[in-house]
Structures are given as C-alpha cells and as structure tokens.
Chain A
C-alpha cells in the first residue's frame, strides 16, 4: 500500500541516468564553449554597461572577471600562445568594476609585461595599468614595487625603475627595502651620485644592521669603482708623458702625478700592477666592486654593471 515499489525503482534509476547524462553533456558543453565564453567580452562595450548589469554587486562581478582573466591567461599560456588579445580588456573591465582589486594590478602587470609565451609582451600597457592602480590605491606601496620591476626587467629602464621604487619608498608603511631597491636601480642606471645619496641615506636612517652593513659595502664599492678608473687614468697619463709604466706609487708621487698613496675604503693601499692596472688588496672584503679586481676574477653577480663606462668602452672599440 505504500508507494509502488516498481515505480520507485524505475524513477530512481531514471534519476541516476539523467544526472549522469547531464554531467557528461555538461563536460562536452564546456569543451565546446571554452573558446566561446570569453568572446562575449568583446560584445560588452564597456565596464559601465557591466556595472549597470551587476545591480550594484560590482565587487562580485569584478571577482568573476578576475577569475575569467586568470582562466584565460592560464589557457593561453598552456597553449604557448603568441597573442593574448583579450587580456588587456579583461583587466580593464576587472579594475573598472573594482578599482581596489589590487591583486589584479599586481598579477595583471606580470601577465601583461612578460615576453610571450610567458605573457602578453606588452610592458608599456603594463606600466599604464599599474599606474592606474596606483592612482586608485595610493597607499599600496607594493604596486610601486611591481611598477619598478616592470621597468627594470622588461623595459630595462633603470631610471624609471629607480624612480618607481623611490616613490614607493615614501608611502607610509613601505618596506625599508624599497629604498634599497631604488638605490640599486639607480646604480644600474649609472646614476652613481643618486645611488651614493640613496645608500648614504639608507645607512643613516635604517635600524636594520644587515641593511646598514649592506649599505656600507655598496658605498665602498662605489668608492672603489670611482677611484680605480681615475687611478688608471693617471697611470696612462704617466705612461704617455714618460713612455714607461710606473713601478710604484712613490714613483708617481715623486714625479708629481699623485699627492699621496691611494688607499681603498678598507684603508689598504691599492696595488699597482704591471701594465697600468690597479687592483685592490683584498677583493674578498670588497664585494660589489667592478673595478680593481684581480685578473681572472669575475665581478660579483650583484655588482652593478657599469653602464657609463661600458658605453665608453664600446665607443672606444668602435674607434
């Protein structure tokens, strides 16, 4: 007298069949739609329209679009695509809907800036994009960090990178390393005076002993990188005048080319090598130097390439 058992069994079986069928068809649909989904983006003229459509739930919509952006990027990346055409509009829409969705700026800039197939290869767009983020979120110092890196790595514009880090370092609560990065970037850019100023400032202002120690080393390296070429210049002058390479510093002092024995930042005299080269006595105590290294010893990876002198060297080679 209860519900007929055969009917129950039939419909229960049918239910399972239909559920399984629906899930299988769903997967097929997803495959069919994979390319179609995001083309809808092209049909939506602007974030403003979307804003209206989301009935005020713009934050949710922004999250949705961010997810879609990530999905899109991931798929294209997986396909080793050369073009990421939808990436800029997706990012724009996401951040127009929610300008405070900082993660979009951060990762978005990376997606945009990196060379294909790692990214869209549009560092210029990336810069504009992060700047937009900075305008909307002036208190987020990390955005400057991302901006600086785009300039540094993809655009190789060290001055701009340094400026970005500098601006970021002035945001209250910024990580102290921002100044460090600004200084390092400046040094990369050949802006030694800027670098020296920054390192000095860091040295004076930081409480972190490691940072201070690092600043000291950097300043010393700067000093060495300044002193050694000057000394070598003097030695060439001597050679030009006398036709001989000097044997010692004293000889140069006696002949009036030097006022005193040149000392490195550690207080040790530089070594005068045959052929007019100058070396430091203890290279291991002077990390980050580029000049004054014994022959065969490569500069530290963290040593800053000497852009100014490298340019000069290139010019000399041409001649």
Chain B
C-alpha cells in the first residue's frame, strides 16, 4: 500500500467479550474508521457495541509512518476521528471523546542506552567464587516507548535496574540515560523509580513522604503541595494522605511507590515488577496508569515476569535469562507471526461436516462449534458456513503469543541465542 492504514488489532464484542483478530482499517472520506478487514482481505464494517483495539496501526505515506499504540473505538461514541501525529510534530491532538486514543510516533532517539553493562559478584571467603549476575548487556530504549524487561525470577532484571539507578556499580560497561551517565545527579531529576517491594520510612505519612521527596527533587513548596495532592488522587490514595506508612497495605505501598516515582514529572519512569503482589483490580489500575503515563509522553521501562501485562502494554520487549539477554523485539512483530492456522467459532452444528471435510478440527459444545483449520482454507469454510446458515461468532487467527516466544528463547541454549 502506498498510502493508507496498515493495522493489526483485535475487535471485541462488548456483549459476549469474544474477540477477533483483524488487520487493515478502512476509513471514510471524513477520516472516520468505518470498517476493517480480516487477515485474508475479507472486509467488514463495524457493528454496534464493538471495541476495536489495535495493537499496531501504521499509516504509510511514502517514507513516513506513524505507529498507533492503542486505538479503542466505541462505536457508540462515533463519529470518531483518527488523530495523527506526524514525525517531528510536537504535540499530539487527542479527541476528547476518545480518552484512550492516542497516536504515538517514536522518534527513534535512544533515551536509555546500555553498553556492555555487566555485574559480577564475588562470593566465598577468599572472594574467589564469581557469580555472574548480569552478562554484558547492550540495549537501547527509544524515547516514548514502553519497554518491557522480561525474564524469570533471578534473571538479572532487578540487577539491571539497580545498575541503571546507580545503586550498584557495574563490573564493566556503561549506561546512559538522556545522554548522560546514569550516575549523574542531573539525570535523576528526570527519572522516576519504583523498586520491587518498595519500602518507605515508616514514621512518615504518605503526604509527608511526597513532600520530602519533592524537596529532594528540587521542587518548590507550592509545586510540591499541588503535585502531591494530584498524584495521590491519581493513584487512588487521596484518603490515605495523613496515614502513617507503617499502616499501609502492600497494594497501597505499591501505589505510593508509583506516586513518588512520578511526582516530579520525570521523562523516564523505571518500574521493577510494578504489578507484583497486587490483586487483579490493582493490576488493572496500574496497567492503565502506566498506559496513561505513556500517553503523556513518558518513556516507561519496566520489568516483569507476567507476560500478559507485557503483551498488553509494551512496544518492545527484551528477554533476560540467567543474566543473559536472550531476545529483543517489538511485541507487534513477535506476536504477529501467524502459526498458519485460524480458529473459527460459530453457532449451528450443521456445517460441521463441511468444515471437517476441508481439514478442520472441530469441537462442538451444544450449538457452539469451535474449529481449527489452515489459513488458506478460511474462505472456503466461511462460504460453507454461510450456505448452511450458521451464525458466525468469531474468526481468530491463531497467533504465536508472547509466551511462545518467551519459552522458546528461554529454553534455547546460549549458542542458539546468538543466532
């Protein structure tokens, strides 16, 4: 396509929650999205009560391309207009009725750069035993990205974060943030950090802690008070402002941690296992918050071992295992790899035989049938279903998930990793 939208996303039915993978988006003359197409090019228009969540949307116009992180259209809120931010344009213009819609372009400028960063601990009485907490790691994170740092426990994620924060010193290599060495105090004013299982001064209240940290970040008194109130509101702790931190639950502490990380409006936010220890509601809230922060233009660098979070949030991920970098890539790329199969779900048992004949593996539960069949047979199957009067519920390409990629990379031997 010379000009137009190239998209990958999910269309979900609000009522049933069933989702369909789609690619491609069509717009009317007024620039409103009106339809989509399936991976094989079959076009359809939006129905009611549908939410379109695009994971990757590119507008291609010659050499320019824009990347859309998240596009949720609630059909009931139409007309919706795509807004776009061209390369180099300073600020995005967001449509007020679409708070979750944002067009984001990545400038390609690395905001965090790690060069051969490694950490070795010596243990044992004579300091002879070496433990390679982090093998030389070279990585860069672009401005405006949400970057996920994945790995099983003990992989070295926290070590990397501590190195970046200047809490421990590397055995070799270096890292820069915003163009300066990561130990430089000037950099610290522009970054925020949430450690794993954060711990704060017991004797302070949440409000006092934010005030104290605000002072240390060089914020003026009036600013501090205002921002603290804002932030507490934002993380949902407004009522706990005068409560002593020693009385906070784990989830509340996590929120305070986020609050102090974003208090001074940093450009980059580092989070170590931000979702750990939270209940599903808490996790959802944190995820939404992280998304919001990214919408505001902040770069998010976070580590986690929960892949679904990474899949939902990240632009790119890196996979770490036993101190080694095992893989880097954009989520879109990694999850767009089709496995060559399609899953079709419909109501109406009559078409089962026809689909089976095409080579599909069918499973019926009452009236609902689920079938897996090769991609190239999809058209024929859909025809068969239409002919038999079956009611199509969903068509989902079976894609490799991030989990697949993760497991593959983690179990690869070091030699394979290098390839």
Contact = CB atoms under 8 A, between A and B. Distances in A.
User: Touch between A and B in complex, CB under 8 Å?
Assistant: yes
Interface of A: 1-4
The 3 tightest CB contacts between A and B, nearest first, are: A2-B169, A1-B183, A1-B174
B181 interface: yes
B175 interface: yes
Contacts of B175: 1
A289 to B, nearest CB: 81
B186 to A, nearest CB: 12
Interface of B: 163, 166, 169-170, 174-175, 181-183
Contacts of B166: 1
A233 B96 CA distance: 148
B190 to A, nearest CB: 17
B167 to A, nearest CB: 11
Nearest to B173: A1
Contacts of A2: 169-170, 183
15 contacts: A1-B163, A1-B166, A1-B169, A1-B170, A1-B174, A1-B175, A1-B181, A1-B182, A1-B183, A2-B169, A2-B170, A2-B183, A3-B169, A3-B183, A4-B183
A2 B119 CA distance: 12
A1 B162 CA distance: 12
B134 to A, nearest CB: 13
Contacts of B169: 1-3
B169 to A, nearest CB: 5
B131 to A, nearest CB: 20
B114 to A, nearest CB: 11
Contacts of A1: 163, 166, 169-170, 174-175, 181-183
A302 B170 CA distance: 86
A235 B174 CA distance: 119
Nearest to A2: B169
A9 to B, nearest CB: 16
Contacts of A4: 183
Contacts of B182: 1
B357 to A, nearest CB: 65
A63 to B, nearest CB: 39
Given A2-B183, A4-B183, 13 more contacts: A1-B163, A1-B166, A1-B169, A1-B170, A1-B174, A1-B175, A1-B181, A1-B182, A1-B183, A2-B169, A2-B170, A3-B169, A3-B183
Contacts of B170: 1-2
A2 to B, nearest CB: 5
